[in-house]
Amino acid sequence: MARNQSLITFSLILLGCCFLGTPSMFAQEKEIKPALEKEIQQLTSMPLDELLKQLDETWGKYEKQLQAVVEARLIEEREFVAQVTLLIQKDQLPKKLVDSSWLWVRSKRPGTNSPFVYFERVLRLRAEKAGFKVPPFDDRIYSLSKSQRELLQLKRVQARELQKDRFKRR
């Protein structure tokens, strides 16, 4: 009997909360719906070139945000973040998986000096478990001295310039 009475009380409280919350929810919906319709209309009337440019800017902002959140300092770390962003764009890696990975690092390792290391590892483990591929990352760069990393970077820049020259000659 007491259980039924508490269920009835709970139901009445829940019902009351629903009625109290309803006017504000309708007001928000009335404000949001026209704004969304206007934005959709603008996007559909936009030329494809401009739409692609805006999309590229959005992904560029996301990449910079991700680099800042995981504190990607080294060039190799930034390249990894760029590759992950590209995989998200191509729908080969879910954005939700990437976001939840850096959120995990933020909550579980809040005081770390290098969150990228944890982010890369957590993302790799979670992606493999879900059946997605993550770009390779060679963590041996952390064992190199600053001058060795600079020399490696110089070699990479020279290799890229050679590739550009070869491409231009074709």
pLDDT digits (tens, 9 = 90+) for 53-88: 666 778 888 889 999 999 988 888 988 999 999 999
Tally of structural domains, the chain: 2
Q: For residue 154, is it within any domain?
A: no
Q: Is the dihedral of CA 87, 71, 57, 160 positive or negative?
A: negative
pLDDT at 30: 66
40 and 80 within one domain? no
Q: What is the per-residue pLDDT for 125?
A: 94
Query: Does residue 126 belong to any structural domain of this protein?
Result: yes
Considering the domain architecture, whether residues 30 and 60 belong to the same structural domain is answered as no
Domain that holds residue 29: 1-45
Domain membership of residue 94 (yes or no) is: yes
167 is a domain residue:
no
Kindly state the tokens that stand for 144: 């190199």
SS in 3 state form for the chain? CHHHHHHHHHHHHHHHHHHHHHHHHHHHHHHHHHHHHHHHHHHHHCCHHHHHHHHHHHHHHHHHHHHHHCCCCCHHHHHHHHHHHHHHHCCCCCHHHHHHHHHHHHHHCCCCCCHHHHHHHHHHHHHHHHCCCCCCCCHHHHHCCHHHHHHHHHHHHHHHHHHHHHHHHC
123, part of any domain: yes
Q: Which residues of the chain, if any, have pLDDT below 50?
A: 1-7, 10-12, 14-15, 17-19, 21-22, 25
* Nearest alpha carbon to residue 85 among 103, 68, 67, 109: 67
pLDDT, residue 29, reads 62
Q: Is residue 148 part of a domain?
A: no
What is this structure's pTM?
0.61
In a domain, 142, yes or no: no
Nearest alpha carbon to residue 76 among 155, 166, 139: 139
